[in-house]
Amino acid sequence: MDGMIYPASLVVIAIFIFTMMQHHNNMLAFIALVVGIYIVYSHETGYTATDFRHEMIDTIDHNTYDYTKETDIEEVQRSSKY
């Protein structure tokens, strides 16, 4: 069953794009095309938007940790408590 979800989703998106182009709704057709490209890319590479989000969060967390150590922000925050 899982093997049919990928081709079925591409067929549904292709039909949707065709329908939107017939009704001269180019913006929705373009958005559907981008979604289809994302589905194919994530299926072929295994790299999804969730992986990208986790990488960005880890990078930000790592950079802010280094910045905190360089500037001693933790010491300032502890000393400013009442």
Domain layout of the chain by residue ranges: 1-47, 48-82
Give the pLDDT mean for 46-73.
81
Two structure tokens written together for 21: 């182009």
**pLDDT of res. 64:** 78
Helices (H), the chain: 2-22, 26-45, 49-71, 73-79
Measured distance CA(65)–CA(11) in Å, rounded:
46
Measured distance CA(28)–CA(41) in Å, rounded:
20
Phi, then psi, of 17 in degrees rounded to 5: -65, -45
pTM: 0.63
pLDDT at 65 over 80: no
**pLDDT of res. 20:** 94
Sign of CA dihedral 56, 58, 60, 63: negative
